């Protein structure tokens, strides 16, 4: 009886994990290429904080089950990194929803350091994710100081 109960509990845990919402990551666009961007040391890019943002995050707690939400939607253009929107499970959210007074894209002046962006997403025949290009960006107060592109082998991606 105890072994059956343990087996049932393990099956429930495994089933729950299989249906978990995948984590959201910061989105990135460079020209026509889209993908994801990460801070060099780990995970997510910082977003500007203000009291309204903290309150909205608290109110939305539980409305999006994906880890990391909300995340930034960034674009590299004119030698700068721009925050253009936020994203949650349901899609993109205009900046003005979370930040009073921000109507459109804003240069990400709060970001400095090394970041990695992955663009040109494809799937292999084995359903593995791959990216055609890895960009290593050095950014100082939102200004892109350098970009090093590494072209990855995607010959095994589905066409």
Q: Tens digit of pLDDT for each residue in 33-86?
A: 999 999 988 888 888 876 766 666 666 655 565 565 678 999 999 999 999 998
User: Which are the contacts of 144, defined by CB distance < 8 A and separation ≥ 6?
Assistant: 76, 79, 80, 81, 137, 138
Strands 129-140 and 143-151: antiparallel
Instruction: Identify the pLDDT of residue 123.
Output: 83
- pLDDT at residue 36, as a whole number: 94
pLDDT for position 58: 66
CA 54 to chain centre: 19
The answer to whether the CB of 79 falls within 8 A of the CB of 125 is no
pLDDT above 80 (res 4): no
Stronger pLDDT, 99 or 142, i.e. the higher one: 142
d(CA 128, CA 148): 24
pLDDT surpassing 70 at residue 22:
no
Highest mean pLDDT among 7-11, 13-17, 53-57: 53-57
Distance from C-alpha of 152 to C-alpha of 119, rounded to nearest angstrom: 10
pTM: 0.76
Q: Inform me whether the pLDDT recorded for 6 exceeds 50.
A: no
Q: Which residues contact 129 (CB under 8 A, 6 or more apart)?
A: 121, 122, 123
Contacts 24+ apart (CB under 8 A), 33-36: 33/119, 33/120, 33/133, 34/119, 34/121, 35/117, 35/118, 35/119, 35/120, 35/121, 35/131, 36/117, 36/118
Q: Is residue 10's pLDDT more than 50?
A: no
């Amino acid at each position: 009886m105890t072994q059956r109960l343990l087996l049932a509990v393990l099956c429930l845990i495994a089933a729950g994990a299989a249906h978990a919402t995948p984590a959201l990551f910061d989105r990135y666009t460079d020209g026509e290429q889209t993908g994801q961007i990460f801070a060099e040391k780990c995970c997510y890019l910082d977003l500007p904080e203000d009291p309204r943002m903290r309150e909205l995050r608290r109110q939305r707690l539980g409305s999006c089950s994906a880890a990391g939400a909300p995340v930034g939607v960034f674009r590299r253009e004119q030698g700068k990194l721009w925050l253009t929107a936020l994203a949650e499970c349901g899609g993109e959210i205009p900046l003005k929803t979370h930040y009073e007074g921000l109507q459109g894209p804003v240069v990400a002046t709060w970001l400095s350091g090394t970041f990695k962006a992955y663009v040109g997403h494809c799937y292999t025949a084995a359903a593995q994710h791959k990216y055609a290009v890895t960009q290593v960006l050095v950014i100082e107060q939102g200004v892109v100081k350098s970009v090093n592109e590494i072209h990855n082998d995607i010959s095994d991606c589905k066409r």
